[in-house]
Structure 1
């Protein structure tokens, strides 16, 4: 049996507490800071992609995730925090996590927004213990002209996902397999 040094024990304990803090909403980001980031994200969407105003007007709720950080080297993961707004008023805070495995290397950051287009889709999201983005969601892709590709097909979808503001060294960003969990910031 090997002896564990005091330094190793402290390092393992610190790492474990850090991971636990990521999952339960404890951390340095408070509600005011998160709301400020959501305000900036919403303003960015409206200025860069004016078509999002129409989506916002039609949506019964919008989940803004201002900063998702994704990294991978064979095994990858992503994490971020955001706020659900109804009538542009924050009603809940959420974290999003995802994991992946496969050929990947690098890191990137991006933002995304989920537009809940029906009362049922929003109610299902809020009632779930941990909601996973599924096949009922459609992606709206911003083009270089600043328009949002929300055609008739996507506008009939119960949830419309928009990924934007990508920066980093991993090509593309996907929300498939992302799990959203209510948190207390």
Structure 2
């Protein structure tokens, strides 16, 4: 019987993990779970970052994805579910999907928040399908470090690592689906 070469087995296992992560990872949450996780994520982010706290108060709207999971071995994928707020009021739920390609390996979990500076930017997000291109830069929040968020077309992105290890450089984008509360 032939043995499987490690150069083949490792990429196959990583690809399987990425597919598993994207297909079922965060879709198991109920709306109550997502709301509770979003509140916890907001508290975590605002605890040590007063300038981000101001964005929650002053933005037209924001989307919080409290549990985004990403895995990659050359091809990467990420997935998460979140809540969307307009003027501080919950207006719906959103799902995040990401695919990227590049020199990358590993897996991680993180919080992602998208701030909408203008009503037009929030309305584009609420229109149904929305995409962030790979050239949108996200501010990475680290303990004790405060940074300003860069807005492009009225949209600013903040991420905070939760767990995992990942290394690499990649190019890709994120796609979002919005579902309003009825």
TM-score, normalization: structure 2? Answer: 0.75
1:43 to 1:144, Cα distance in 2 relative to 1, 3 A:
closer
Q: Residue 48 of structure 1: CA displacement? A: 2.1
Distance 1:125 1:97 in 2: 14
Which of 133, 154, 157 is residue 161 of structure 1 equivalent to?
Answer: 157
Aligned to 1:8: none
Counterparts of 1:20-99 in structure 2, within 5 Å, are: 27-99=27-99
TM-score, normalization: structure 1? Answer: 0.74
Counterparts of 1:4-15 in structure 2, within 5 Å, are: none
**Which whole-Å deviations, capped at 9, do the CAs of 1:68-94 have from their partners, x for residues lacking one?**
111112222111110101233221111
Distance 1:28 1:82 in 2: 12
Q: Which runs of 4+ in 1 moved over 4 A?
A: 18-22, 135-138, 172-176
Structure with bigger gyration radius:
1
Q: Which structure 2 residue ranges, 5 or more long, are not aligned?
A: 1-19
* 8 Å contact from structure 1 (residues 133, 176) kept in 2: no
* 8 Å contact from structure 2 (residues 100, 171) kept in 1: no
Does residue 139 (structure 1) correspond to residue 138 (structure 2)? The answer is yes
* 8 Å contact from structure 1 (residues 69, 110) kept in 2: yes
SS in structure 2 at match of 1:55 = helix
Q: Residue 178 of structure 1: CA displacement? A: 0.6
Distance 2:96 2:169 in 1: 14
Structure (1/2) with the larger strand percentage: 2
**Which whole-Å deviations, capped at 9, do the CAs of 1:29-62 have from their partners, x for residues lacking one?**
1111110000001111110212112111221001
**Which whole-Å deviations, capped at 9, do the CAs of 1:142-184 have from their partners, x for residues lacking one?**
355342323xxx3675011001124212137989501011258
